[in-house]
Structure 1
């Protein structure tokens, strides 16, 4: 904003053109959707070329509809891709816990474990293993609360392949075909089109 250039103007115009072409697009919250919370998390390892910090992306679905999402650069430099993914699991676990409390305040009981979908087997192993390994001592203690939530039965992590990882839309550049496919998988529809 301090020193705008022509490429910034062109990028802004591209966003406006996209928004103009997708006026009817929205998230449909279906009445028959199950009240189960599922979190998807992903990270790009050292994605920022200047700071070498990773980007965390996550979103939460209620049934089949996305209700919460975020992409943010991590506060610290991760020393491995497993650590970056584990930090993403931390972020989505905190959001899931908050949403579960919100549902309970609204009168909906969510007793089943909430699901976390992650495409990193090492991060899932770190989160599920109660033994503190020498190789994970650099991960801060506040991240390890994911492990406690798994032990309590609040969340349950599952591995998904990278092709099925829906949080990729928040952390990676996608081509038009992949982008459109992800919109369908996320439950984003043209609300003005006949059903």
Structure 2
């Protein structure tokens, strides 16, 4: 993966000494990628959208586990480049899209993957509205998250738990549970 480590060129993209958000393996993406790697039936033979792909980790996991086609989407052009380069490093093929899909139509892909997009309240509301529209069109939706404040737990079914250390915490920190979820929408 093309991530923010001292020997990578990613540091050249830093603003005020801070590398871009996508230059880390965020725990939601990491737990979702882990879950896909151990449960390939989620993506195998299907078309997949990795919403907010960042580094491309989740898209790459889907491609490695037999997805028919993978579209990695993000709003940051550098994230798109990093995802393409990281896919090449892993000898998999993904398509990329530089776009904000949240207010648009339901995408054609059968499976929607979402890692760590519930970090701000207003943004989380947009993501939930988008996912609800996707669910109404029979898309299968999987989410990875370490328990962020704005995660809509009442719309999720936990399908896997993995111990992870959150990005930015010291390596000596105690791992906490990160979840892979199936997005099921509002309960009746």
TM-score grouping bracket, smaller chain normalisation: 0.3 to 0.5
Higher helix share: 1
Q: TM-score, normalised by structure 1?
A: 0.32
Higher radius of gyration, 1 or 2: 1
Q: TM-score, normalised by structure 2?
A: 0.33
Q: Which has the higher contact order (CA 8 A, sep 6+)?
A: 1
